[in-house]
Structure 1
Amino acid sequence: MLQPLKHVTKCRSLFSSFLIHINNPSSFSSSSHNCHTVLRSSIKDWFNTRDPLITRIFQILSSTDSSSDAALDASLAALTLPRLDESFVLTVLHHVTAAAHVYPCLRFFDWAGRQSGFHHTRGTFSAIFRILARNRSMSTIIEFLQSFRRRGPAFYPRARFNDTLVIGYAIAGKPEIALQLFGKMRFNGLDLDTFGYHVLLNALVEESYFDAVNDIIRQIRMRGFENRYTNVLITKSLCKQGKLDEAEVFLFGLVDGGKKLHGSEVSILVRALCRSNRFDHAVRLVSEFGDSGLVPLDHAYGVWIRGLVHGGRLDEALDFFKQKKENKGYIPGLARYNVLIYRLLREDRLDEVYDLFMDMYETAVPPNTVTMNAMLCFFCKKGMVDDALDLFKSRSEFMLSPNHMAYKYLILTLCWDGNAKEAFSVLKSSIDHHFIPDRRTFTRLANVLCRECMIDEMKELLHLALKWKIMPNASTYDNFITALCRAGRVEDSYLNRGDIAARLLVEMKEKGHKVTPALCRVVLCCLLQMDNSRSRFFSLFEMLSHNDRQHYIYDCFIDAAGHAKQAELAWKVFELMQRNGIQPTSSSLSLMLKAYLKSGRTYDALIFFSNVWSRGLATKKLYNCFVIFLCKSKNPEPAYRFFLQMLEDGLNPSIECYEILVQELCSSERYHEAVNLVDMYEKMGRRLTSFLGNILLYRSMFSPEVYNACVRLRGVKEEGKTDWSMLSFVVGAFRRHHRVSHVEDLEKLIAKCFPLDIYTYNLLLRKAWKSDKEQACQLFERMCQRGFEPNQWIYSTMVDGFERHGMRDKAERWFKESKRTFSNRETRMLI
């Protein structure tokens, strides 16, 4: 589509053929795939028309730490910027395209003001005021002006201080303050210039201060400041008062008096006539001024088109648009294209939308953020979800910001396409930019999240709905409860009503049913998120532990407090247990230890464990729990020390304890300790587990230190064909220190060291694909014959292998097969 001009014809046919493929999926082939790729690239080229330096400046302003002036100074200093003057500052500020860029503009304005040798002028102040006013940030302008007044004229030597104040309050929609300041200026013998008078006059017209308007017009004429902007504002004032006939007489009087009009005066009257549904009068007026040949009417034509569109006369607007282009070479502005495109999109007239996009390109009309939003909506309505998502993800490259309509269409299209994850991600992006979805979008996304069993995302969406005051309907709740059941998370159904769940828990116990730790945990975690959480927690504890001398309820509450990361509450329950004469069991000690660790209080956990150990109560279960949790919290050093202490105490660590510690030591690149642990494990008379063997093989693919550690350990062992020498040989083969001609031989060697599992086969497949695709395919067949069911990682490895060897057709077939296989498997699981 949107390549250099000499390729326009080719691009038009390219985009058209692509749309045909979209409408007829069966015709999709490798050629349409190439078309699809070129289309994405072309669209990005079309939008990427901005000055790259300006784009980079805004990227820095948007991404650097907002609290660090030094970071911003350093980032901008790294660019090759032109000399900082009024012209350059205005150039940057004029590139604002959306509300999302207002804050970066303020940061740039502040940065420029801090630079040595530069002082803000009235022009730069006016520019920042207009940016803020355009995005309805009036309160920010007022704060700005109050600060400006406090600092005084000495602080801004190049800004006409009083003029800037008057202009600022006028732009901020506070003409009464602007008039007061203007009166003080006149009292002190000061006056506004032409620019200041016309800004003030415009503000008075906008706020309907018509008596003051007439006074300011007289002042302008007395000082000889009258120009075309004066005539524009007089016309605007008459139209705003509903004096349309008087405005028409005024304009014809100017023409009869030999005054040159510039078209914007006529545009204002045309707009007012359209808003009053006087379309016939408006078209007659445009025709009369056009026939005179004295008034340039390009802007008026655009206003007329806009008026017809908003008046529901889209076909007339399109006919007028085509007629003027054909007869008079009229090139409409970007805003007029956007107006037509949006209305056509609303009516699903997509072929005409496409024609307008092409017309924009052929006439070299540069797109803006509104055009991007229209393109996003067009892709969504056309079912081109990948292209829509690609354009959305590229938005930061072009300083473009999606609007509410674009966000809505993209979320709905992604939901229709079944891409719940991306839809939820787009929703979160829209919230970050203060766009709140409507009920339809919320309901559709909720249903898709429930269908895909994305429970955590659905819970977050429900919380957001309550925040937005969107009340989900009954079917949404039904779908969510069904999804919770399918996901095996029935307990979550009560998460938002902890008080009800607590009463049900007490009733369950009273009726003789056992309170399970999982159920107790989910109810208590909910209670701890409510008001008066501590009192609710202990109130429920008293009701459940009443006349119960068993440690079981105490353990449930310690466990729940630990999961809620409330170690202090867990300790209170632990103390109550001992105070009530109930001896803590090894389970109670483990739960208390876990509560400290889950709460991130490792130091308290160490003290607790040392106390238990000094009393001779440190059991194998407690040691295992402590070591495993230290590993999971990324603390391998203390975990390794306590592991060795456990061995010294004559306790044999569990298999899981060995596996988790070896894994964490390898993650920390402490391969010698990891290999020594594996050696200790084998000395206990245990056969190497698949998990331990796979860790060593996997790590050997990235670091030679694993093999070096194995060789060093083998060197201190007796000579011969030991199990360890065989394992070190296999590790060396994975590291390519030893040559194994066929992957099947390596497979047999591994089987002598430890049982192969699906993860081992994945590692072997990755290695096989690097050398011989035939061996890789044979290995896959052997794996299936031995009863291993390929998982998604296996399929991914096969697809990557085929693509690496240039076999794209096979890769695509395998990819489709994997999607079909796992779709069927999920269905069987649901049934």
Structure 2
Amino acid sequence: MMLSTLKHHVTKHKPNSLFSSILTFFSNNHSSLSPSSPPSSLPSPSFTISKNDVADSFKTWFTTRHQSHDPLLLRVFQILSSGDDFSAALSALSLPLSESFVLRVLSHGGGDGDILSCLKFFDWAGRQPRFNHTRATFAAIFRILSRAKLRPLILDFLRKFSRGRVTHKVRFHDTLVVGYAIAGKPDIALHLFGKMRFQGLDLDGFGYHVLLNSLVEDNYQNAFDVIANQIRRKGYESHVTNVIVIKHLCKEGRLEEVEAYLNGLVGSGKELHGSEVNFLVGVLCDSNRFERAVELVREFGTSGSFPLENAYGLWIRGLVRGGRLDEALEFFRQKRDSEGYVPSHVRYNTLICRLLRENRLNDVYYLLMDMNETCTLPDMVTMNAVLCFFCKLGMADVALELYSSRSQFGLSPNHMAYKYLILTLCWDGCTNEAYRVLKSSARAGYFPDRRTFLTLATALCRDCKIDEMKELLHDALLRNFKPNSSVYDRFISALCRAGRVEDGYLIHGDLKNVTVRFSYTKMIMGFTKSNRGDIAARLLVEMKEKGHELNRFVFRHVLNCLLHMDNPRTRFFNLLEMLTHGKPHCDIFNRFIDGAMDAKKPDLAREVFELMQRNGIATNVSSQILVLKSYFKSGRISDVLHFFNNLRHQGVVSKKLYNPLIVGLCKSNKADIALELCFEMLKVGLNPSIECYEVLVQKLCSLKRYHEAVNLVNVYEKTGRRLTSFLGNVLLFHSLISPELYHTCVQLRSGIEGELHGSSMLTPIIGAFSGCLKVNYSIEELEELIAKLFPVDIYTYNLLIRNVTHHDMDKANELFDRICQRGLEPNRWTYDIMAHGFSNHGRKDEAKLWVHEMIRKGFYPLENSRNLI
């Protein structure tokens, strides 16, 4: 019985509970479900099982399959699948070589899809002195190869066979006819058959039927009638003939004739074996005529002359192929409950594989349990489906355990099982295990498809598995598998991250046509870190030639590296020449100005700007701003003003240049000049940017020049703009520092607040904040008034909390809660203000709790806060 551990639970719990526990086991041990995760609407499990229990249970079930086989056959295939010298090992077994034994071996291996082992054994047996292959053994190996879609191998074998006829003690012509018929070459088979008849030779019943079937497969209508008549005249007609005739009529679409033919067989007293009816049922199902198929089964089945299990199986197969999975499951359950119907393992597999494709994992689990209950032995398809099942569940550890134990029950994974196992292990971060599975699959003749290859390559590059990645690419090229550019891109990036930039550069040298921008960036950054600016510069030029965007970040690193090497100025301008040769472009020059500025070389930045002017390259506002910023960065304010005045005299100054100039002057503590330029802009009809007003007001307030600050706010509002959060917070903050700001507002805004857009409450709010104005506003009302004045943010709330903590910590607590309810995230300053508020009110223990909460949230306490602990 299958699944000893699972079986124990099934007897105590509903199967759905067991399935839920498997899912719960996975979700408790992994952070996320795989892309093919099962439905989430499952009940909570009432018990749990471990991954080892699950794996062991399925291993026990799989092992029962081996126990039903001849131990000698198992030993033969164990030897054939090993990498050792199988020839000597097989000889040591003293096998009872005969036609029947060889057919048993081939049947065993062919059923499991172990084509390579079958070929090895067939070749070995043919070389043994006491055995010669027969036509039956040849036909058996031909069928195995045909099912595996290896017909070219059959044809190659037949060509060699025909050239060495004297070495074979077998019906030579029969074998050739049967071989070519199985290989899908009925024209050659007919030609050889004609030669046989000319020489007075003939086929036996087996050969005739193989030839007749191949004629049906390839629609040889005239020849079919001739061969069919030959079979009848020679007395070879049997139920096999009837099946082939029915198959022929079905392929011709003559279904009414098929039914008449079947009725004729019944009327003449011939016994039906079931396969005659089954074929018609299958054709009707494939053409979606399910109702007629059911009627036919009932009509011929009432006689009881043949069992209906195969017809039921074909019905299920037809429903599955037609995408009617729910009907197939319902039919299966109905016949199981009413008639005790147990489908063959092939039909179970048909259902399971299609359900897996649809990710209906709950139904898959039920079918697997049903196979166990009915003692249906799993075959290779079932075991591979189980591997895929656990991969789709995301339980890669269970799938990997079954895969690692495959030798115990003769599991030979197929392409789909390998694919899902590799993908799931990659998604779980088990890159080493995924790579080992790939190597094993390659030895078994499977190489991943593009999606699987890309996923594994991405995982190897992500984990910097350089040697494994090199081997993977080598194996791919040996198989004429050409990875796309993204694979090489990731590999080059991984090499750069691993500090092997030179190796990445060598690969890039061989694959220039596929290297993309990201790889260039990684290599450039790698070479700049190792002070190889010359190579980094060469790559930058190559990037431009390939049409890739040259961003500021890359430029800065390359230029900074060049400017710290020997002959920096020469290297700098050589690179500029290479990048602008033939097609000088303003944007390239701007990048060099920015790079020189970043490397703290303002003179070099100005020199590039002047070079543009000398060469007639039109400068733009970006060029001018970059030169300004380079001077600001080096603290050369006089050069800033000189440069600006020159441009102003040339009449090329615009608003875009004024704005960064004013901001830079404020940050350089040149508020008077900045204010003068601001009003100069207004005088010539240019409205300064919001940032200009913000930094000017902030600077003036910090210098306690409130009169000028409030006047500037008035000017700002007269332009029709609403106060920004930054401006409002600056005013509120300074109202807490000094009452002078309020008095200035009263003086400068008295009588005009009603005229200003939405700002009639600014003076009262500043008065309330500074304590100069006694009002009856609650904290909630004050909060609402501020929100009408400007958009509130966490900085605004910090100011409100700071104000409230002076007189009521309970109100401060309420305000803190309201901040969280409104979706804002309290920051380091919020916790610090709360902690000091409690401390100032003598509530030291609560202050400590706030400091600890600040630390728990990941904020490092300020020095004053640390003293509270």
- Which TM-score tier does this pair reach, normalised by the shorter chain? 0.5 to 0.7
Match of 1:156 in 2: 168
| Structure 2 counterpart SS, 1:106 | helix
Q: What does residue 113 of structure 1 align with?
A: 126
Contact map agreement 1:141 1:168 (CA 8 A) in 2: yes
Question: Counterpart in 1 of 2:70?
Answer: 51
Instruction: Return the alpha-carbon distance in structure 2 between the equivalents of residues 231 and 120 of structure 1.
Output: 30
Larger gyration radius, structure 1 or structure 2: 2
The answer to whether the Cα contact below 8 Å between 1:18 and 1:35 also exists between their aligned partners in 2 is: no
CA distance in 2, matches of 1:381, 1:30: 20
2:386 corresponds to 1:375:
yes
Residue 343 (structure 2) aligns with: 332
Query: Which residue number in structure 2 is paired with residue 39 of structure 1?
Result: 57
Q: Does 1:133 align with 2:141?
A: no
Structure 1 unpaired stretches of 5+: 66-70, 524-831
Letter in structure 1 aligned against 2:154: I
Cα pair distance change 1:225/1:151, threshold 3 Å: same
Separation in 2 of the partners of 1:413 and 1:137? 30
Q: How much does 1:19 deviate? A: 4.4
How far off its partner does 1:419 sit?
0.1
Q: Which whole-Å CA distance do the structure 2 matches of 1:407 and 1:291 have between them?
A: 46
Distance 1:97 1:271 in 2: 24
Q: Match for residue 369 of structure 2? A: 358
Q: Which moved more, 1:351-360 or 1:333-342?
A: 351-360
What is the aligned residue count?
Answer: 509
Structure 1 SS opposite 2:382: helix
Q: Secondary structure at the match of 2:402?
A: helix
Q: Does the CA-based 8 Å contact 1:129-1:168 persist in structure 2?
A: yes
Aligned to 1:79: 93
Task: Map 1:151-300 to 2 at 5 A.
Answer: 151-152=164-165, 155-157=167-169, 159-300=170-311
Cα distance per residue 1:390-438 (max 9 Å; x no partner): 2222334444322222122111210121101111222233344444434
Task: Quote how far apart the aligned CAs of 1:9 are.
Answer: 5.3
Corresponding position of 1:422: 433
Quick check: 1:97–1:368 contact (8 Å CA) kept in 2? no
Could you tell me how far apart the structure 1 residues matched to 2:311 and 2:491 are? 54
Counterparts of 2:227 and 2:6 in 1: how far apart (Å)? Answer: 55
* Alignment map for 1:591-740 (pairs within 5 Å): none
Cα distance change on mapping 1:61 and 1:482 into 2, 3 Å: closer
- Contact 1:8–1:362 (Cα < 8 Å) also in 2: no
Relative to structure 1, the CA distance from residue 224 to residue 351 in structure 2 (aligned partners, 3 Å threshold; closer, same or farther) is same
CA RMSD of aligned residues (A): 3.9
CA distance in 2, matches of 1:107, 1:305: 37
Cα displacement string for residues 626-681 of structure 1 (whole angstroms, at most 9, x for unaligned residues): xxxxxxxxxxxxxxxxxxxxxxxxxxxxxxxxxxxxxxxxxxxxxxxxxxxxxxxx
Matching residue of 1:60: 79
**What displacement does 1:285 show?**
2.1
2:138–2:175 contact (8 Å) kept in structure 1 = yes
Q: Look up the SS of the partner of 1:84 in the other structure.
A: coil
1:485-507 residue CA offsets vs partner (Å, 9 max, x unmatched): 43222333323232799xx9xxx
What are the equivalent positions in structure 2 for 1:813-824 lying under 5 Å apart?
Answer: none
Task: Give the percent of matched residue pairs that are identical in Structure 1 and Structure 2.
Answer: 56
**What is the CA-CA distance between 1:118 and the residue it aligns to?**
2.2
Q: 1:206 to 1:484 in 2, by over 3 A?
A: same
Q: Deviations over 1:294-336 (max 9, x none)?
A: 3432212111111110111011111111122222222211110
Q: Give, in whole Å, the separation in 2 of the partners of 1:320 and 1:258.
A: 32
1:88 maps to which residue? 101
Alignment check: 8 A CA contact 2:313 2:347 kept = yes
Change in 2 beyond 3 A, CA 1:13/1:56: farther
Distance across 1 between alignment mates of 2:345 and 2:403? 21
User: Does structure 2 retain, via aligned residues, the 8 Å contact 1:247–1:269?
Assistant: yes
User: What is aligned with 2:24?
Assistant: 24
Following superposition, the deviation at residue 224 of structure 1 comes to 1.3
Q: Distance in 2 between matches of 1:58 and 1:398?
A: 12
CA distance in 2, matches of 1:31, 1:429: 30
Alignment CA distance shift 1:140-1:329 (3 Å): same
| 1:49-75 CA distance string (max 9 Å, x none) | 43332122122223356xxxxx44421
Aligned 8 A contact 2:495 2:501 in 1: yes
**Pairwise CA distance, 1:92:** 0.6
Amino acid at match of 2:281: V
Q: Distance in 2 between matches of 1:457 and 1:63?
A: 24
- Work out the CA distance in 2 between the residues paired with 1:119 and 1:206: 31
Point out the more displaced range, 26-35 or 241-250: 26-35
Matched, 1:301 2:312: yes
Q: Distance in 2 between matches of 1:382 and 1:477?
A: 31
Local SS of the residue matching 1:146:
helix
Q: Deviations over 1:549-606 (max 9, x none)?
A: xxxxxxxxxxxxxxxxxxxxxxxxxxxxxxxxxxxxxxxxxxxxxxxxxxxxxxxxxx
**Stretch deviating more after TM superposition (93-102 or 6-15):** 6-15
Q: Taking structure 1 as the reference length, what is the TM-score of the superposition?
A: 0.56
Q: Is the 8 A contact 1:18 1:36 kept in 2?
A: no
Q: Counterparts of 1:225 and 1:468 in 2: how far apart (Å)?
A: 51
Are residues 440 and 323 of structure 1, via their aligned partners in 2, closer, same or farther at CA, if it must alter by over 3 Å? same
Cα distance in 1 for partners of 2:374, 2:220 equals 42
Change in Cα spacing, 1:500 to 1:517, as seen in structure 2 (3 Å) is: farther
Secondary structure (helix, strand or coil) at the match of 2:452 reads helix
Residues 18 and 450 (structure 1 numbering): CA distance in 2 closer, same or farther, change over 3 Å? farther
Q: Distance in 1 between matches of 2:313 and 2:390?
A: 26
**Structure 1 pair 97/391, CA: closer, same or farther in 2 (3 Å)?**
farther
Task: Name the CA distance, whole Å, in 2 between partners of 1:163 and 1:299.
Answer: 32
Q: Among residues 489, 501, 508, which one is paired with 2:500 in the alignment?
A: 489
Residues 283 and 487 of structure 1, relative CA distance in 2, 3 Å threshold: same
2:190 equivalent to 1:145:
no
| Residue matched to 2:687 | none
* Contact in 1 for aligned 2:391/2:421 (Cα 8 Å): yes
TM-score w.r.t. the length of structure 2 is 0.53
Please say if residues 19 and 362 of structure 2, whose CA atoms lie closer than 8 Å, have aligned partners that are also in contact: no
Displacement of 1:172: 1.5
Matched to 2:63, the amino acid is: D
User: Which structure has the higher relative contact order (CA within 8 Å, separation 6+)?
Assistant: 2
Instruction: Confirm or deny: 8 A CA contact 2:6 2:57 kept in the other structure.
Output: no
Match of 1:341 in 2: 352
CA contact (8 A) 2:186 2:214 kept: yes
- 1:550-569 mapped onto 2 (5 Å cutoff): none
* Shift, 1:221, TM fit: 0.9
Contact 2:3/2:58 (8 A) holds in 1: no
Seen in structure 2, the aligned counterparts of structure 1 residues 188 and 13 have a Cα distance that, compared at 3 Å, is farther
Segments of structure 2 that go 5 or more residues without pairing to the other structure are 30-46, 513-519, 540-869
Which residue is 2:465 aligned to?
454
Q: Distance in 1 between matches of 2:449 and 2:11?
A: 36
Cα gap change, 1:486 to 1:301, in 2 (>3 Å): same
Residue 12 of structure 1, CA deviation: 6.2
Among 448, 466, 474, the residue aligned to 1:437:
448
Q: Hey, what does 2:333 align to over in structure 1?
A: 322
8 Å contact kept, 1:465–1:471: no
SS in 1 for 2:277: helix
| Cα distance change of structure 1 residues 287 and 495 upon mapping to structure 2, 3 Å threshold | farther
Per-residue CA deviation, residues 59-94 of structure 1 (Å, 9 max, x unaligned), is: 2223356xxxxx44421133253x221111111111
Q: Which amino acid aligns with 1:61?
A: L
Q: Give the 3 Å change call, closer, same or farther, for CA 513–314 of structure 1 in structure 2.
A: closer
1:208–1:396: structure 2 CA closer, same or farther, 3 Å change rule?
A: farther
1:58 aligned partner, one-letter code: F
The CA distance in 2 between the partners of 1:226 and 1:512, in whole Å, is 84
